[in-house]
Amino acid sequence: MQAHNRSCDMGPSLTYLTCLLESLLDWLELDNLEDYLNYLEYLMWVFTPLIIVFILPFIFVLFFYLSILFLHVYKRKNELKEAYSNCIWDGARKTLATLWDGHAAIWHGYEIYGLEKIPENGPALIVYYHGALPVDYYYFVSRVILLKGRTCHSVGDHFLFQIPGFKPLLELFNVIHGPKEECVKALKNGHLLAISPGGVREALFSDESYVIMWGNRTGFAQVAMDAQVSIIPMFTQNVREGFRSLGCLRIFRWLYEKYKIPLVPVYGGFPVKFRTYLGDPIQYDPNITASELAEKTKCALQSLIDQHQKIPGNIFRALLERFHRRAKED
């Protein structure tokens, strides 16, 4: 190495760039440029899959913004029609629902079981397990719009309303952030309402073991009792194999618990099989407390997980399930 450095200093025919390259090759203990290229090929082979799994979630975010762009174009085109119709946005809602439902069918072979448990008219509270990215819920909402002709109101986390450009999409699909009075109002007005009690915490810090992370939350149960409506539990098979988070790293959990900052990297976007299962409605019972109703709902959701999800979840197995007509777990 010392001899090589002297040749760099003394040889006027060697350019600085050539010398630098040769020094790098010596440092990597590679004898020639072919070894160097083989080394680069190895690095690309190792890191390209990692790069891809972190890029795919951004493609879904891009799909959101394309949906928002469509809404802006739709609004401009129908400004005059809106003055003469109260249902002008139904067309936009059904168009986006069709696009998302097509994506669900192509990318995840999406299926839904128990849709008949959603009432044709009248209210119900849908309680679901929250994946790292709840794309399964978006697929569910789209399917309800197309097959039931109903719009499902949703309770979203506060940070959703801070994302630039998301306001038109949230308004179109009736996403609210509470409080409980607004939730009760939506149900008393005859709407479907969906909520995930685990919210962002469950999305980011649950894992392939599918642990329900509700803590002591009973607000959703109180909403159901105040509105005197039934609760329908919902779970999507393989939702955590489609997208996973790095919530296992303590620094991200600490940031969220202390500052409520949901900065946890999400990776995936794998075309695994998604099947959404709706459980039997839990009927309104004035003789139980909100805590008891919350526990009853949690047990019903856990039963769906136990019945339809192999624990721990496995991405490769979930991919293979794309080729099965129905995978009902023992």
| Active-site annotation, residues | 130
Q: For residue 112, what is the enclosing H or E element?
A: strand 111-113
Longest dimension (CA), the chain: 94
**What DSSP assignment string belongs to 128-191?**
E---SS-HHHHHHHHHHHHHH--PEEEE--GGGGGSTT-HHHHHHTTEE---HHHHHHHHHTT-
Q: Note whether 276 and 209 are within 8 A (CB).
A: no
Residue 150, Cβ density class (10 Å: 0-12 exposed, 13-18 middle, ≥19 buried): middle
Amino acid (one-letter) located at 153: H
Q: How far apart are CA 114 and CA 68, in angstroms?
A: 30
List phi, psi (to 5°) of 156: -115, 160
Look up residue 287 and give its amino acid.
Answer: N
